[in-house]
Structure 1
Amino acid sequence: MTRGRLRTCALVLLVALPCLAGALGPAAAAAPTPAPSSAVPAPGDPTGGPATVALSSLSPQVARPGTDVVVTGVVTAAEPLEDVTVRVWVRRSVTVRAQLQNAVESTSPEGTPGTLVDVSASLAAGASHRFRVVLPAAAVSGGPDVGVRVLSLDVRADDPDGGTRRVALDKTFLPWVPAANEERATKLAVVWPLHDEPHRTADDVFVDDSLAREVAADGRLRTLLDASQGWTLALDPMLAEDLAEMARPTGYLVATATGSTRRPRSAAAADVLAALRARAAQPGAVTLLPYGDVDVAALVAARREADLKAAVARARAVASTVLGASLAVRVGLPQGEGWTARQVAALDRAGVHTVVLPGSWVPADPDASSTPSARTDVRLGDGVSSPALLSDTALTGLLTGTSRRADALARFLAETAMHTAELPGRPRALVVVLPRDWVPVSAGYARALHATLAAADWVVPSSLAPLAAEPATDEREADVPSGTVSASLSRSYLTSVAAHATAGTQFSTVLATTKRATALAAAYAAERLRLESVVATQDGATLLDRSERALRAREAQVRVVTNGHITVPGGSSFPLTVRNDLDQDVRVAVAFSKSGRVSVQTTKVVRVPAGKATRVSVQTRASANGPADITMQLITPRGKLFGDAQPLRLRVRGAGGPAKAVVALAGVVFLFAAGARIVRRRRPGTDSPHPEGTSPA
C-alpha cells in the first residue's frame, strides 16, 4: 500500500471513530492513566460471577505499525470487591476463523499478558467503573499479512482467603494490517430486506393508517432505510406502490367503520419514496423481492406456481413505473431459514435462478484450512441443483444478536479479516442477509459499521447482484433440516383468496370501456398477491374480509330496482330498471331462475351510464295464470353471475296466445277421437262383441 493511501484510510477511520464512540459505548478517557471512579450504567449480560467486564471501545479499531491501541471498558461488581485491577492479554497466533469462536468459549486468558492497570481500590456491589489500558504498538504488531489479535480482558480483585482471584473475563478481537498491505480479498455483501404487511384493497383504500407511522422519522421503515445506506436493499415493490399512493397530491383513503375517509398527502411517505428512487438509481444498490413478498412455500405446496410467476413479473413492472428503474428479482432470499428442493425448482421456473441458503446448511470440509466463498452451486436432492449464495450465519448473528455493540463490531471486523488472512490475495465473497423482522436499535450503529468496513483494507463492499453473477467456486451438497421450511398460509385461506380474486376479475368485465376493465382486473390480480404475502399470516384473514366486503359494496352499486312484485300479462313482457351508481358506465344483463308456470328469458346486454338508470325489457312465456316465485341476478356480458340474487314474484294473468291455442287444439283432438269411436260402434255386425272362445264366420 502506498504511503498516501495509508494516510487516506487512516483519515477515514479517524472520521468514523466519533460516530462509533457515540453509537457503541462510553467515550474513552483522555488521560493515559486509569480513569477516576465514576458511576456508569451497567453493561448488562451479567454472568453470575463476582463481576462483569464490558468493552467500550478500541481506538483505533485496526492495529497498524507504529500505532498504540487504547482499550476502554467498564467493570461492574456483583458483590463488594477490593483492589480491582485489569490486564489485557494479547494472542497473535490465529490462523483460521474457527479459532475466533474457540477463543470466545475459552475460560482462560490467552497469549502474552500486558501491564497491570488499577481500576478501583474499592468497588461496592452494583457499582461500575471505567478503565483505560494502552497497548504499545509492539504488543500487537508483527507479520507481513492481515491477521487478528485476540485480546483477553482479565479483571482480578483481592481474594478474602489471601492473594487475588479472577472476578471477570471478556474476549475481544483486534485486526492487524501491515503498512504495505495490498490485499482486498474479501468481497462483502450485506442485504437489508425492506418490506411491510399488505394494507390496500383493490379499490386503493388502506385498511388502516399504520404505514404512516412506519415511515415517520422514528418509524421502523425509516430506520431500516437509513441504516441500510451503503448496503444492498432487498425491496418489496408493493411497499413503493403503497408509498406512491400515500404521496398523491389529493391524499389517500383510509377505511373507517362506515366507509372511508380521505387523509392528506403524507410528506413522510413522499420522502421515503424519493429516497427509494434515489437508491434504485444506484447500480446494484437495490434488488427486488417478489411483489407482496408472497409466501413461496405456501404457493408451492398448494400448487399455485402461477401466482409466484405473477409476483416476480409484477415486481419488475412496479419497479419500472413507480421507481423509474430497471430492476428484477434476481436472487431468492429465504423467507424462513432457507429453501427446499421443490421451492428452489419453482423459483427457477419463475425466473429466479439463484437462491440464498444459510451457510450452516452446506457444511464445509472439516479438514479445510479456509472458509469457502459464498458463491457456490448446491445440490438439494430430488435431482435439483441451483446456483447459490451462502449467507454467513456467524456474521448475521453478530449484527442481529444481543452482544454488546462494541464487542459485536470488533468481532465482525475480526471475522472478515480472518476470512482474508486464511487465503491472502485470493478473492472470495461473504454474504450477510439480515432477517426480515429485524430492526436495528439505531441507524448510527449500522452507519458506523459501514464507515469502518469501508476503510478496512481487507474488505471490498459489494452488492448482491455481482456476486450472484460470478462463477461458482465449487459444488456442494445441502443438508436441509427436516421441518424447518414450511408454509405460513393455509390451503383453505389461499382457496378463499383465489375465489375472491376470480369474483373481482369477473366483475371487472362489466365496465363498458376496455381500458377501465383491464385496469380493474389488474387491481384484483395485484390484491390477490398482496393477500398471499408471507406476512399475511396474522392479519390476512382480516384483510381478506375487508377486501370481500369492498367487492360486495362495489357490486351492490349496480343493481335491479324493483318492489319484488310484478303482474305479467301471459305471453307478454315486462320492464325492469337497472341502476348504476358507479362513476363509470357498465354493460350488464339480467338472468332469471326457472318456474313451472312461467319462463323468463335472460335480457339482452344493456349499457347503463354512470350514475343513471336504464330500463330493460324482459320477455316471458306463461303456461298458466297465477303467482310464480323466481330469482333474478345481474350477469356480466360474458354470462357470469355477480352480486346477490334478488327474489321476484310474478303474477300471470290472461295467459293466452300459445297457451290458449294448445288448450283449444287439445279439445278438438279429443272431440274428433270420441266421434270416430261412436261411428265404429254403429257399423253392422259390430254391435256386440263375439262370445268368448269363438271367432267370426
Structure 2
Amino acid sequence: MSFRPLPFPRRRSGRRILGVPALLTALLLAMLAVLVGTAPARADDRVRVELTSITPAVTAATDTVTISGIVTNTGDTPLTGVQAYLWRDQQVRTTRAELATTDGPVGARWVTRYAILGTDPSGTLAPGQQSTFIVSAPWSALGIPARDGVTMIGVQIRGSYGEGNTTLGRARAWLPQDLGPQTTPVRLASVVLLASTPSRVAAGTFLDDHLAHEIAPGGRLDLLLRSAAGSGRSYLVDPALILSLQEMAAGYELTDGSAGAGEGDAKAWLATFDTLPTSGYRLPYGVADIDLLAGIDHADIVQSALDPAELPADVAELPTAVLPADGLLTRRGLATLATPTAGAGPSAGSSPTASPSATPGKPPIVLTARPAEGSGTTRSAAPSYWTTAERAPVVTYDPQAFAAGPDAGGSDAQQRQSLAAVDQLDALAGRPVQVRLITDVATAHADDLDTSATRVSLSSLTEGSSAPISDALLQAPPSDEDDQTRDVRRAATSTTGLASMFTDPGVAADRTWRATAILASTQWTGAAATPLSPAPDPTAASEAYVAYRNLQRDRVWQITGGDAVAISARPVLLTARQDTQFPVTVTNNLPVPVSVRLEFESENAERLHVPSVDIRTIGAGEAIAVGAVPRVEANGNYTVVARLTTPAGTVIGVPEEIDVQATQAGRVGWILMIVSGIVVIGTTVLRIKQVRTERSHA
C-alpha cells in the first residue's frame, strides 16, 4: 500500500514526533526566537534592534510611551551618526483580522526627540558593537487617532555607513490603546498539553527513546510540566504518557534490545506531576482522533479510550477532556462522546465483562479551535461555553493567541505587547475569556510573559454563560479516507474478539483497543508549525508511525494467522474404551498467559463428534496436553479439523487436519495421523526448551 508522509492533510496539529536531532534543533530555535529575538528585520538592515521594554503595555490618553532596547552593528563597517527615533504608524486597528496586516514599514518617526547611540557624541558604532537606547514621547503628541484599539509603534535607527544618512534598522511592536471608559479585561485560561508521540509498544518496551529526551531537565515535557504547575493554569494529560513514564521509571528497553536511558528522569517527572494542582483533565488514551474513529463507526473505541478502568491511579480519577485533531470538531466526532446507554454491548476488542458502558461518567469537556473572524461568526459577546445534545460542554481555544507581532519572533517585550494587543481586541469584541493552548517550549515561555492577566481555570468556564453550539464551530468531515484511517479500520477489525484470550486485563487492552487508539492518535506528526515554533520533520513522523503500525500488524497476524498459539498432535492408537481421550498439544509461544478454546470440526458430525475443550490458562512459553472424549456412531475414515478460538469465539492460529480411523462402532480404535508427524513433536519440544531457556536468562 502507499503511505503518504505525515502530517495527513486533514490532520495538521497535535504534539507530534521529531527525530531526536531535529527535536533538539527545533526546541533550540524556538527558544532563541522567543528569548533572544530575530536577526535584522530586513535583509539590508545594518543593525539588529532588540526591544527590551515598552511602557505602558496598554496606553491611556495621558501616558508617555517609552521604548528601551539594544542596537548591535551586525555589519563589517563602522556606523556614524547613529540615532534612535520613536516611530508610529498612526493607524488604529479594532479587529483581530487587522493584526495580520503588518507589512511595511508605514507611518513616520517622531523627530522631536531622539537618542544618540555609541560611545562618543558623534554616535559611532564599530562592527559588532552594542549600544542601549531609550526613546519616549507623550501619547498625545504622536498624532494617533483617539479611539480604543491597537496601534503600531517602534524605533528607527538612523545613521551612516559612508553613503549619507539612512535607515539602518528598525523594530516594531503593538501598542494597545484603552482611552476610556476603561475596557473590561478578558479573563485568561491557559491550558497546558502534556502529551507526546506514541512510542510504547508493550509493557516496558518502546520503539525509541525520544521520551527520555523530552522529560530530561530542560526538555519539552519538563518545561511544559513546570508551566502546568504555574498558578492559575490547567492541564490536559494523555493517560498513555503517564503509563509510559511509569514503565520507564521501573526500567525499560527499546525494540532493538538496548536499555532505555530515561529511568531516573521518569521518576523525577512523575514525582512532580503528582504535586500538580487538581485543575487537570485526562484526554482519551493516546489522544485518539474522535472524528477518525467516528468515520469508521468505532465510537466504542472512543468510549474505551475515555474509560478509567485499568488506567494509572495518577489520572484515572481526573475529569475527562477531548482535543479534536487540529482543534476541528465535527458533528459525528461529537456524537462519539454521548454517554453509552444501559445495556450497550462491549467495546471492540474487549471482553463481555469489561465494557466501558458499565461505568458511565460525566461527559468530557471539548476544546475546539475558535473560528477566525469572518468565518461565520459575529462580534457579539460570546458565551463562556457551548452546550450540546451530547451533554458535552464545548470551550473554544484561540489558535492565534500567540500570533507573532509585526516583527515575527521578536523579543520578550514585543511578544508581551502582542499578547496585550490580542487581549485588548478580544475585550473590545465582548469576549469574556481567552483560552490559550500551551503545546511547546515557545508558547509556554510566551504565556509566562503575561503576568498581568486575570487567570481562571478551565473548569470555571463551564460555570459561566452558555449557548447552544453554533454551526460555525462544527466542521465538515473529510470526504475520503487517508492511509491512517484505513490503517485504523484494519486494526479495529483484526483485533475484534482478541481481548478475551488474555488473562491480564492490561495486556488485553494493549493488544486490542489501545493499539487501535494509538494508531488513531493525533500526536503522530509533531507540533504544528506556529509563528513561535518551526515546523516538524514529516519524514521522521512517517517513519515512527509506519514502524508502530507494522509492529502491531505483525503481532496481530501472529495470533490470528500464525503460530503465536499453536496446535500439534502425535500419532497414537487409542484403546477401545468408552473413556478414550483425543490427545492434542497446545503451545503458547507468546510472552504472556492466554486462555483459549480448542474446537473440532468433523466432516461427518453425525457419525463422529469431538466436543470442544476450554483451556483456562496456558502460561507464557508453555505447552499443555489436552484430552477430548470423542463420540463415534459408525466405522470409517474421517477428517477432523482442530482449531483454536478465543473464549469470545474469534478464530486464531492455524487449523490442523487430522485423519481419523474409527473401528468397532460404539467402541473406539483410533489412529491419528497428522501431516507434520514426528517433526511437529520434535519442533514443539525444541521450541518449549528454547522459550524456557530464554525466560531463565531474562
> Same fold per TM (> 0.5)?
yes
SS of 2:159's equivalent in the other structure is strand
Could you tell me which residue of structure 2 aligns to residue 291 of structure 1? 285
Q: Equivalences for 1:418-567 in 2 at 5 Å?
A: 418-419=424-425, 422=428, 428-434=432-438, 439-440=440-441, 445-446=445-446, 449-450=447-448, 452-454=449-451, 456=452, 459-472=453-466, 478=472, 490-508=484-502, 511=503, 516=504, 520-523=507-510, 524-536=512-524, 538=542, 539-550=544-555, 559-563=566-570, 565-567=571-573
Q: Quick one: distance in 2 between partners of 1:629 and 1:474?
A: 65
Match of 1:327 among 282, 295, 319: 319
Could you report, residue by residue, the CA deviation over 1:112-158 in whole angstroms, capped at 9, with x for unpaired residues? 44522233569899856434124267889999999867423122234
| Counterpart code for 1:504 | L
Q: 1:401 and 1:596, CA in 2 relative to 1: closer, same or farther beyond 3 A?
A: farther
Aligned mates of 1:502, 1:400 — CA distance in 2: 54
The answer to whether structure 1 residue 643 and structure 2 residue 653 are counterparts is yes
Does structure 1 residue 236 correspond to structure 2 residue 238?
yes
| Cα distance per residue 1:417-440 (max 9 Å; x no partner) | 5247738xx882112234xxx532
Deviates more, 1:136-145 or 1:571-580: 136-145
1:275 to 2:267 alignment: no
Q: Tell whether the 8 Å contact from 1:603 to 1:616 is kept in structure 2 after alignment.
A: no
Q: CA contact under 8 A between 1:503 and 1:642: conserved in structure 2? A: no
| Higher-helix-fraction structure | 1
Gaps of 5+ in 2: 1-30, 341-362, 526-541, 669-698
Letter in 2 for 1:109: G
d(CA) in 2 for partners of 1:62, 1:590: 77
Q: Which residue of 1 aligns with 2:410?
A: 404
Where do residues 47-446 of structure 1 align in structure 2 (5 Å cutoff)?
47-51=42-46, 53-58=48-53, 62=57, 69-76=66-73, 82-89=80-87, 94=92, 96-97=94-95, 101=99, 104-110=102-108, 112-119=110-117, 129-135=130-136, 150-158=152-160, 164-174=165-175, 185-201=185-201, 205-230=205-230, 231-248=233-250, 251-252=251-252, 254-256=254-256, 266-279=263-276, 282-284=277-279, 286-314=280-308, 317=309, 321-323=313-315, 325-329=317-321, 332-347=322-337, 351-352=363-364, 354-360=366-372, 363=375, 372-373=381-382, 375=384, 377=386, 388-398=394-404, 402-406=408-412, 408-416=414-422, 418-419=424-425, 422=428, 428-434=432-438, 439-440=440-441, 445-446=445-446
2:694 is aligned to none
- 1:376–1:476 Cα contact (<8 Å) kept: no
Specify whether residues 615 and 475 from structure 1 end up closer, same or farther in structure 2 by C-alpha distance, changes over 3 A only.
closer
Distance 1:378 1:167 in 2: 54
Q: What amino acid is the match of 2:625? A: T
Residues 338 and 74 of structure 1: is their aligned pair in 2 closer, same or farther, counting only changes over 3 Å?
Answer: farther
Name the aligned partner's letter for residue 188 of structure 1.
L
Provide the secondary structure at the position in 2 that maps to 1:116. Answer: strand
Q: TM-score, normalised by structure 2?
A: 0.68
> Quick one: distance in 2 between partners of 1:497 and 1:103?
47
Residue matched to 2:585? 578
Maintained 8 Å contact 2:599/2:642: yes
Question: How far, CA to CA, are the matches of 2:391 and 2:373 in structure 1?
Answer: 14
CA distance in 1, matches of 2:399, 2:615: 63
Shift of residue 460, structure 1, vs aligned partner: 0.5
Q: Distance in 2 between matches of 1:378 and 1:361?
A: 21
Letter in 2 for 1:151: I
Q: Distance in 2 between matches of 1:476 and 1:113?
A: 50
Partner Cα distance (1:201, 1:462) in 2: 38
Distance (Å, rounded) in 1 between the aligned partners of 2:617 and 2:285: 36
Offset from partner CA, 1:377-398 (integer Å, 9 cap, x none): 599xxx9999644433442323
The yes-or-no answer on 1:614 pairing with 2:625 is yes
* Equivalent residues of 2:610, 2:628 under 8 A apart: no
How far does the alpha carbon of each residue in 1:505-555 deviate from its partner, in whole angstroms, 9 at most, with x for none? 2423xx5xxxx5x55544433333233322357444533443354466679
CA contact (8 A) 1:601 1:619 kept: yes
Contact kept, 8 Å, 1:103 with 1:171, in 2: the verdict is no
Assess if the C-alpha contact under 8 Å between 2:85 and 2:113 holds in 1: yes
Residues 599 and 622 in structure 1, CA contact (< 8 A), matched pair in contact too: yes
Conservation of the 8 A alpha-carbon contact between 2:83 and 2:157 = yes
1:226 Cα deviation after fit: 2.6
Give the distance between the partners of 2:479 and 2:39, measured in 1 at CA. Answer: 34
Q: CA deviation at 1:293?
A: 0.8
Q: CA deviation at 1:591?
A: 1.9
Deviation at 1:466, TM superposition (A): 1.6
Shift of 1:199: 3.0
Q: CA-to-partner distance for each residue in 1:459-511, whole Å, 9 max, x for gaps?
A: 20122222243213898651877788987664432232123322422423xx5
Structure number with greater CO (CA < 8 Å, separation at least 6) is: 2
Give secondary structure in 2 for the equivalent of 1:403: coil
Give the secondary-structure state (helix, strand or coil) at the position aligned to 2:51: strand
In 1, the alpha carbon distance for the partners of 2:603 and 2:420 equals 80
Question: Amino acid of the residue matched to residue 356 of structure 1?
Answer: T
Seen in structure 2, the aligned counterparts of structure 1 residues 439 and 593 have a Cα distance that, compared at 3 Å, is farther
One-letter identity of the residue aligned with 2:304: A
RMSD: 5.0
> What's the offset of the Cα at 1:235?
1.4
SS of equivalent to 1:605: strand
> Structure 2 CA distance, aligned partners of 1:589 and 1:102?
68
CA contact (8 A) 2:150 2:425 kept: no
Q: 1:354-391 CA deviation, whole Å, 9 max, x = no partner? A: 4423331664878x6xx855736599xxx999964443
Q: Residue type matched to 1:542 in 2?
A: A
Q: 1:200 to 1:175 in 2, by over 3 A?
A: same
Q: Identify the range of structure 1 (464-473 vs 581-590) with the bigger mean alpha-carbon deviation.
A: 581-590
Q: Return closer, same or farther for 1:53/1:147 CA change in 2, 3 Å cut-off.
A: farther
Give the superposition deviation at 1:224: 2.5
2:665 to 650, 654, 657: 657
The whole-number CA distance in structure 1 between the counterparts of 2:335 and 2:582 is 58
Alpha-carbon separation, structure 2, partners of 1:580 and 1:352:
44
Q: Which has the larger radius of gyration?
A: 1
Seen in structure 2, the aligned counterparts of structure 1 residues 604 and 153 have a Cα distance that, compared at 3 Å, is closer
Matched, 1:632 2:632: no
Alignment CA distance shift 1:56-1:128 (3 Å)? farther
TM-score (norm: length of structure 1) = 0.68
TM-aligned CA distance change 1:481 to 1:358, over 3 Å: same
C-alpha contact 1:60 1:69 (8 A) present in aligned 2: yes
- Cα-to-partner distance string for 1:319-368 (whole Å, 9 max, x where unaligned): 77233643222xx43421522333334445683464423331664878x6
Uncovered stretches (5+) of structure 1, i.e. residues with no partner: 1-20, 27-41, 661-697
Q: CA separation in 1, counterparts of 2:327 and 2:209?
A: 31
Whether the 8 Å CA contact 2:598–2:615 is kept in 1: the answer is yes
